[in-house]
A and B are shown apart, each in its own frame.
Chain A
Amino acid sequence: DQQVKQNSPSLSVQEGRISILNCDYTNSMFDYFLWYKKYPAEGPTFLISISSIKDKNEDGRFTVFLNKSAKHLSLHIVPSQPGDSAVYFCAASGGSSNTGKLIFGQGTTLQVKP
């Protein structure tokens, strides 16, 4: 049973436009959500996070929105740049005392075209 789902395997956007990556979860015990970015042959790198007590967190071009009633979160990248082309993983933790025990989605490959 996939507790964290990213239903879009890939997304293609034009440079300068908005990229919206989506993530759904099923476990209501999750209380901390993160987005990671991964380039080929590298490890995932942390991008942005949000606690369940918030519904929005912004860091520069990146904004994460959390809709707890819908068990849905999204990552907005504005404006998108070619260097943003990577695989993006949504992850969640909670229901455990160990916040390093993350449940990951399958990933979405973002391509930003110049």
Chain B
Amino acid sequence: NAGVTQTPKFQVLKTGQSMTLQCAQDMNHNSMYWYRQDPGMGLRLIYYSASEGTTDKGEVPNGYNVSRLNKREFSLRLESAAPSQTSVYFCASILHSSYNSPLHFGNGTRLTVT
């Protein structure tokens, strides 16, 4: 049981390049989330998918797009990377967003944009 799996673990991009961060969960969770962590700022929500087929913006969505490919997979795309997007990105999932239960996080993707 792997939980939440993120790929890649590390990535270096040049300004203007694009990339997709992959996330998959094997817990049969309905809702999935993308957060970013920056020093001194905790984690901030980028986008989320409450259920398969739906996506919504979080607190800091600018410069990102997402795709809920199926119930297991939720990808985050940077179309034109900027240095301000240098961060650690965490994918998370929850069984159902209406219930008070904790998020389960992946181990993150560390992205550097030069």
Contacts and interface: CB of A to CB of B under 8 A. Distances in A.
Interface string B27-71: 000010100000011111100101000000010000000000000
Main secondary structure of the interface of A (DSSP, over half): loop
**Interface bin, chain A:** 20 to 34
B81 interface: no
B42 A4 contact: yes
Nearest to B38: A106
A107 B83 CA distance: 23
A97 to B, nearest CB: 6
Interface stretch (A12-20, A45-53, A59-67, A71-79): A45-53
30 contacts: A32-B100, A34-B102, A36-B102, A36-B105, A41-B107, A42-B107, A42-B108, A43-B90, A43-B106, A43-B108, A44-B90, A45-B105, A46-B102, A46-B104, A97-B97, A97-B98, A98-B50, A98-B97, A99-B99, A99-B101, A100-B31, A100-B33, A100-B48, A100-B93, A101-B58, A102-B103, A104-B43, A105-B42, A106-B40, A106-B42
Interface of A: 4, 6, 9, 32, 34, 36, 41-46, 49, 51, 89, 91, 93, 97-102, 104-107
